Amino acid sequence: MSRDYIMLADTTRCIDCKACVVACRAEWDVPLGHSRDWVASAETRTEQGQPQLHFFPGRCQHCDEAPCIDACPTGAVFKRQDGLVLLEPALCSGCELCVPACPYGARWLDPRTGVVDSCTFCQPLIDAGRQPACVASCPTDALLFGDAADPDSEVARRLEEDGDWFTLSTDEVDCKPRHYYRTGDREVPEAMLPEPPDPYWTQRASESLVNPLAKLGIGGMAALFAVAGAKRFLDRRRGIAEQEPSGEKQATPRGGDDE
Amino acid sequence: SAEPARAMEDHVFSWCNLCPWRCGVIVRRDDNGRIARLEGNPDHPQNEGLLCSRGHAGVMDVYNQDRIKQPLLRDGPRGSDRWRPVSWDEALDLIGERLRAVRDEHGPQGISVLAHSYWKKPYHRLAQALGTPNFIDSVWAMCLGPRMLSYELVAGRPLTGIETLDVRRTRYFLIFGRNLAESFLNGEVRDWMRALADGAKSVYVDPRHTITADRSHEWLPIRPLTDHALVLALIHTVIEEELYDSAFVEDYCTGLDELRERVAGYTPEWAAEETDIDAADIRRIAREMAEAAPAVLAYAPRRMARTRNDVGLGVAIAVLNSLFGVWDRHGGIFRPQRLEIPEPDLPEFPESAAEPIDGTGVPDRYPLANPQFGLASTFWSALAAQDPYPVKAMIAAGNNAMKNTGFPGVVRRAIDQLDLFVATDIQPNETNRLADVILPEPSALERYDDLQEGWGYRGWIAVRMPGMEALHDTRDPWRICQGIAAQLGLEDYFPHGSVRELIEDRLEKAGYDFEALAEKGVITTEADPAHNFPREHGASSRFDTPSGKVELVPSRLVEHGLDDALDYRREVERGGGELHFLFGRVSFHTHTRTQNNPWLAGFMEENPLWIHEETASERGIVDGDTVEVIDSRGCREVFHARVTARIRRDAVYTAHGYGRDDPRLSVAHGRGGSATTFASPDIDPTSGAAAMLRGLVHVRRIEPSEGVS
């Protein structure tokens, strides 16, 4: 049976402790200056004038109508049957067209590999039957991950029970995220809602000559690439990886400083 | 160096060293046998698999480029950052020579030893072997001492840093500045949040709107340093309205009548004037607590080294809890289990010929202070003044008194008169920068340690094994202390060839073997709710006080003539334009130990100064402005303002651990301002603990260019 993976973030329980962010960095060796996940925050006032805090843990929302997939000229970004938005590194040219296409700012070019990176819902871990690193580290049960198609799963139960889950979508931006939030009795601060992607980039992506080829699927793309200049992309990626200095100033990478 | 346990293949067990909660971790290794990352150990009772941001970043304690990588001798004036790398033999020979000279001239009491809770054990043994009474663990006087002492005085149960509160089942929390969501202990915040999700109520008392305040049902912005008045008024109300657990008080408590008299004047109306909290709210809270009792907790601050009467506050909180009969009840305070493992056989320690210079246990000085910890507060002034006798050598492990006390000038003078200052640590800090010799330790993940012995619902022990061979020319603290002991002819006190041998020796005495411990990283006792909650299971409670009862007016306070601590006294009077200076924690940092961790530093580049919008407006300050903070001593720091409604008008706040001036800290150096600059240097006369929150400051806007000192 096909799985239907979703993430729930109960913001009434998030305390902005950042355990999820560092757990992710550790798990995937995310370079400093970038992150696959984050905790966005806002401060508002209640009607009585009391301060009120809002913490929204975020990451790739694994949208069902993902603009990053449409924006990708090489077909590197794809949707798995269970809902995950993933990227095939061998096909990614590092063109970064998908980066501004994402309304959630979830994508970035990894300077070490020349390939775009983002949250995968910890695909290798969940395929091995484990929880994503962020979920496993959350001390307050604010993050829940699971298979919504399984009625016995915690996420299915919570979706049903709480009844007030929503996605970070607006009239302008609704790409059917698979990441749900709830805030209890608190209003959602505007700053938490997605901005429409920059039309320049969206247009440029859709006009791309290569883009229609994406419809051939990954296998077809790979075959075409072999004939039509995939080597150029791969070389470029290798070049970027080699340019990267081995000892960054602030962080000694693993395998670095060994004297 | 320590042999990594290859038999475990891709992982070993350890426990985290980044905060005092000490969660169990699984150390994952990569294909090259190097530490790759940490996971929470699901079998460890302390965290049951959780790991916080600091815990995950523990990997960078190993790989941090700023680590101390070999023994260093000072090769220039103190603080000049001129160091000469030397061999371990040369360092230990020099240390031995100077320690022998100090001991010959001044006796063993002329040598002091300082260590902190996480890894004090070998250093404590070294001090005991020496026969010096001058052993200091700063955690008591700078943090939990008054809280621990108060529970000991009232109930004979000294709740320590890991308190046995049944948070998960508590139905009503009254929290006094205990910032659970940010002064972060994994299991504690998890249980609190689960209790809230199940409908428990949380009332949070703090001049500042913390994340804990935000997640609570009520935030009571109390006037700074008046918490004692609020608790006294609650006790007053509970007694006058007979809201207490009369059966418990009848069977288990002494002193109700005397207490009633002592609190007679502390009406809610009186407290409202003092605290800025409505009398009606005080009465309502007392009633709501009684309704939820015994599943109710008046939650003491974590760091109770704030005022000159934190013992008064601590006793009042312990008394309020006792009136609600929380002892050994679900949702109250439970009786822990322990797993006792015998210590190794050692020669008897010599008696100390002298009293400790800090006055711990000394009549007329600090008779109630705890000799296991000493007083990191009074120690430094005694050392600086060489009073009552000379102390000329100091061995300090992981200490950063230059940045964690309100009197760095005294600390500096104390250090300046030493003949020998040996600092051991894994990373630089402002205090070891002043040492004569720095000895580098391996990070927690590169070494064995003695057993971790914990308590809680179950008793347990845990193992720390090295995740890989040490990266640098380091020695674990046991080997360091063994080396120093050998220089002084005290090697018989360190008979084990390695820490692994020490562990195996102890385990064998208890009938356990190492392999069994290494399998899951922990061994625990069987769960036994009847032991934790005897009064839920038809058994009685026991209280280890002089009377064998809960003493609502503690006899030991009276006996020492210190019972005026039970009465309220005002802390400080603000002068015109002055503001209370508050400081505290953020969840991704611990003390001054994590600001240089590159995985954590980015969450807050520098610590802003919180200031209320009206207070800011009166001073022409807008958000982001550069501001100068200055106190009556002329101490000064520069911050950027965060203008907010999240703090009272009469106070400012910033996070502790910033404002680092050790240039060897390449990440943390020069970011933000130091909070402890404005920590008051005062002492609580009852306990001898520090009274750090009495600072008053002036704040003004300056041009950014004036911020450069």
Contact B670/A at CB under 8 A: no
Q: How far apart are CA B173 and CA B192, in angstroms?
A: 9
pLDDT of residue B144: 94
Average pLDDT for residues B414-435, to the nearest whole number? Answer: 98
Average pLDDT for residues B294-312, to the nearest whole number? Answer: 96
Question: What would the pLDDT profile of B95-139 be if each residue is shown by its tens digit?
Answer: 999 999 999 999 999 999 999 866 799 999 999 999 999 999 999
Q: What distances in angstroms separate CA B106 from CA A24, B98, B132, B357, B386, one per listed residue?
A: 55, 12, 11, 13, 12
Q: What pTM, to 2 d.p., does this model score?
A: 0.92
Partners of residue A27 in chain B, C-beta under 8 Å: 37
Phi, psi of B550 (to 5 degrees): -70, 120
User: Is residue B682 a contact partner of residue B633, using CB atoms and an 8 Å limit?
Assistant: no
Partners of residue B34 in chain A, C-beta under 8 Å: 254-255
Residue A120 CA to its chain's centroid (Å): 6
Q: Which two tokens stand for residue B264?
A: 């007679």
Q: What distances in angstroms separate CA B645 from CA B105, B210, B278, B610, one per listed residue?
A: 59, 11, 20, 9
Residue B212 has pLDDT above 80, yes or no: yes
Greater model confidence, A227 or B279: B279
Question: Under DSSP, is residue B235 helix (H, G, I), strand (E, B) or coil?
Answer: helix
Determine which of B26, B30, B46, B51 to mutate to test the interface with A (most A C-beta atoms within 10 Å).
B51
Residue A81 has pLDDT above 90, yes or no: yes
Partners of residue A122 in chain B, C-beta under 8 Å: none
Partners of residue B666 in chain A, C-beta under 8 Å: 249-250
Partners of residue A50 in chain B, C-beta under 8 Å: 209, 219, 645
User: Is residue B10 a contact partner of residue B28, using CB atoms and an 8 Å limit?
Assistant: yes
Nearest to B190 among A139, A258, A259 (CB): A139
pLDDT of residue A241: 39
Residue B462 has pLDDT above 80, yes or no: yes
Domain locations along chain A: 5-197, 199-240
Contact criterion met (CB < 8 Å) for A141 and B194: yes
CA within 13 Å, CB half, B27: 32
Contact criterion met (CB < 8 Å) for B59 and A26: yes
Question: What would the pLDDT profile of B493-508 be if each residue is shown by its tens digit?
Answer: 999 999 999 999 999 9
Residue A221 has pLDDT above 90, yes or no: no
Q: What distances in angstroms separate CA B600 from CA A40, A254, B662, one per listed residue?
A: 16, 16, 18
Nearest to B667 among A247, A250, A259 (CB): A250
∠ CA(B271), CA(B275), CA(B276), 5° rounding?
105
Average pLDDT for residues B186-207, to the nearest whole number? Answer: 97
Phi, psi of B21 (to 5 degrees): -70, -35
Question: What would the pLDDT profile of A146-166 be if each residue is shown by its tens digit?
Answer: 999 999 999 999 999 998 999
Q: Among A243-247, B19-23, B579-583, which stretch is predicted with the lowest mean pLDDT?
A: A243-247
User: Is residue A221 a contact partner of residue A75, using CB atoms and an 8 Å limit?
Assistant: yes
Question: What would the pLDDT profile of B351-407 be if each residue is shown by its tens digit?
Answer: 998 999 999 999 999 999 999 999 999 999 999 999 999 999 999 999 999 999 999
Partners of residue B60 in chain A, C-beta under 8 Å: 251-252
Nearest chain B alpha carbon to A13: B193
- Closest approach of B45 to chain A, Cα-based (Å): 14
Partners of residue A255 in chain B, C-beta under 8 Å: 30, 32, 34
B297 strand-pairing partners: B173
Contact criterion met (CB < 8 Å) for B186 and A23: no
Partners of residue B219 in chain A, C-beta under 8 Å: 50
Contact criterion met (CB < 8 Å) for A141 and B186: no
Distant-in-sequence, close-in-space partners of A151: CB < 8 Å, separation ≥ 6: none
pLDDT of residue B667: 97
One-letter amino acid of A23 = A
User: Is residue B336 a contact partner of residue B164, using CB atoms and an 8 Å limit?
Assistant: yes
Q: Among A177-191, A209-223, A230-244, which stretch is predicted with the lowest mean pLDDT?
A: A230-244
Contact criterion met (CB < 8 Å) for B588 and A18: yes
- Closest approach of A226 to chain B, Cα-based (Å): 32
Residue A134 has pLDDT above 60, yes or no: yes
Residue B323 has pLDDT above 90, yes or no: yes
Q: Rg of chain B over CA atoms, in angstroms?
A: 25
User: Percent of chain B scored above 70 by pLDDT?
Assistant: 98
User: Is residue A14 a contact partner of residue A137, using CB atoms and an 8 Å limit?
Assistant: no
Q: How far apart are CA B40 and CA B534, in angstroms?
A: 31
Question: What would the pLDDT profile of B584-639 be if each residue is shown by its tens digit?
Answer: 999 999 999 999 999 999 999 999 999 999 999 999 999 999 999 999 999 999 99
- Ramachandran region of residue B670, left (φ > 0), alpha (ψ -120 to 50) or beta? left
Determine which of B184, B597, B599 to mutate to test the interface with A (most A C-beta atoms within 10 Å).
B599
- ipTM score here? 0.95
- Closest approach of A243 to chain B, Cα-based (Å): 21
Going by pLDDT thresholds of 50, 70 and 90, the confidence category of residue B7 is very low
Report CA dihedral (B463, B464, B465, B466) to the nearest 10 degrees.
180
The rounded mean pLDDT for chain B is 96
Partners of residue A252 in chain B, C-beta under 8 Å: 60, 63-65
Determine which of B214, B216, B613 to mutate to test the interface with A (most A C-beta atoms within 10 Å).
B214
User: Is residue B203 a contact partner of residue B175, using CB atoms and an 8 Å limit?
Assistant: yes
Q: Rg of chain A over CA atoms, in angstroms?
A: 19
Nearest to A31 by CA among A249, A257, A259: A249
Average pLDDT for residues B211-237, to the nearest whole number? Answer: 98
Nearest chain B alpha carbon to A14: B215
Question: Per CATH, which fold does A5-197 belong to?
Answer: Alpha-Beta Plaits (3.30.70)
Nearest chain B alpha carbon to A140: B190
pLDDT of residue A1: 62
Contact criterion met (CB < 8 Å) for A257 and B644: no
Partners of residue B39 in chain A, C-beta under 8 Å: 136
Contact criterion met (CB < 8 Å) for A43 and B644: yes
pLDDT of residue B119: 77
pLDDT of residue A197: 75
Question: What would the pLDDT profile of B238-292 be if each residue is shown by its tens digit?
Answer: 999 999 999 999 999 999 999 999 999 999 999 999 999 999 999 999 999 999 9
Nearest to A140 among B36, B190, B667 (CB): B190
- Closest approach of A36 to chain B, Cα-based (Å): 14
Q: How far apart are CA B13 and CA B445, in angstroms?
A: 9
Where do the DSSP E strands lie in B207-318? 218-220, 253-254, 296-299
Residue B515 has pLDDT above 60, yes or no: yes
A217 strand-pairing partners: none
